[in-house]
Copies of this chain bind each other. A is one copy, B any other.
Amino acid sequence: MTTAVRRGRPRNAAVDVAVVETVLRLLEEGAGVGELSMERIAREAGVGKATVYRRWPGKEALLLDVLRSLEADLQTPEPVGESVRDDLVLMLEFLRRRGLAKRSSAVLRAVITEIRSHPRLWRAYQDTVVQARREAVYEVLRRGMATGEIRADLDPELLADLFVGPMLARAVLREWQELPGGLAERIVDAVLDGVRPH
């Protein structure tokens, strides 16, 4: 029984990996997302079209999994739960490392660029992967409001953007700009202290 139950699983997981890796290979070879059909992906992965559709309802869902598999190497930080300042630094440092990874990986860059140019796909990426990271930031900010480390009179969404926005402006919008070590600390401390002289 156990054998029978377990037999199918590695096979399905292997198919998932094969399909995701096929997409990565095709993108590495320079294929644009527009050229990739579910049919072609299935054929190149050596599996049936129905098998691919059973796992992913469409190409968009599949591409999100491709991006997730690429981002899985970048460990999302767990807040330590002591200093709110240090946890915010940890989260911005993750965005800095992700920006560096994107710069050094042509495939990661290609997948993100393609996802970025398809508004629905971009939105789905933001609503899942990015939203999960934002929730973690909100949680740290709410903790800071409770402990008195963060002003309680500001909207948490605005607060999150004050910290995250400056890092994203460099890491995502101006990819040729330096992302030096210590940038996360400098942003967090400047936003906490304010830029008006005391």
Contacts and interface: CB of A to CB of B under 8 A. Distances in A.
Interface of A: 113-114, 116-117, 119, 123, 126, 148-152, 154-155, 158-159, 161-162, 164-170, 172-176, 183, 186-187, 190-197
A119 B109 CA distance: 10
Given A169-B168, A173-B172, A190 B158 contact: yes
The number of times this chain is found in the oligomer is 2
A197 B161 contact: no
Contacts of A170: 161
A161 B99 CA distance: 16
Nearest to A153: B197
B195 A191 contact: yes
A26 to B, nearest CB: 18
